[in-house]
Structure 1
Amino acid sequence: MIPTAARLLILGSTSPYRRELLARLGLPFTTEAPRVDETPQPGESPRDLALRLALAKARDVAGRHPEAIVIGSDQVADLAGEPLGKPGTHERAVAQLQRMRGQTVIFQTALAVVCAATGFAQSDLAAVEVRFRDLGNDEIERYLQAERPYDCAGSAKSEGLGIALLEAIHNDDPTALVGLPLIRTARLLRAAGLTLP
Structure 2
Amino acid sequence: MSSPLPSLILASTSSYRRELLHRLQLPFTVVAPGVDETPLPGEPPAELARRLALAKAQVVANLHPKACVIGSDQVCDLHGEPLGKPGTLDKAQAQLRRLSGQAVVFRTAVAVVREDVGYQGCTLVNIEVRFRELTDKDITHYLAREPALDCAGSAKSEGLGIALLASVNSDDPTALVGLPLIQTCRLLREAGLDPLA
TM-score range, shorter chain: over 0.9
Deviations 1:33-90 (A, max 9, x none): 0021111001100000000000000000001000000000000000000000000000
Match of 1:113 in 2: 112
Counterpart position of 2:146:
147
Structure 2 length-normalised TM: 0.97
Identity of aligned residues (%): 63
CA distance in 2, matches of 1:188, 1:6: 15
Contact 2:104 2:130 in 1 (8 A): yes
Contact 2:5 2:193 survives alignment (8 Å): no
The alpha-carbon deviation at position 195 of structure 1 amounts to: 2.2
Cα distance in 2 for partners of 1:118, 1:109 equals 25
Query: Structure 2: how far apart are the matches of 1:39 and 1:81?
Result: 16
| Code of the aligned partner of 1:72 | G
Aligned to 1:22: 21
State the 1:113 CA deviation.
0.1
1:133 aligns with 2:165: no
Query: 1:196 Cα shift?
Result: 1.4
Misfit runs of 4+, over 2 Å: none
Aligned mates of 1:176, 1:191 — CA distance in 2: 19
Residue of structure 2 equivalent to 1:196: 195
Q: Which runs of 5+ in 2 are unaligned?
A: none
- Cα distance in 2 for partners of 1:185, 1:7 equals 16
Question: Where in structure 2 are the equivalents of 1:1-197 lying within 5 Å?
Answer: 3=3, 5-197=4-196
Alignment partners' CA distance in 2, 1:62 and 1:194 = 15
Q: Secondary structure at the residue paired with 2:74?
A: strand
Say whether the 8 Å CA contact 2:110–2:124 is kept in structure 1. yes
Q: Secondary structure at the match of 1:72?
A: strand
Counterparts of 2:58 and 2:70, CA distance in 1? 9
C-alpha displacement at 1:6, in angstroms?
Answer: 2.7
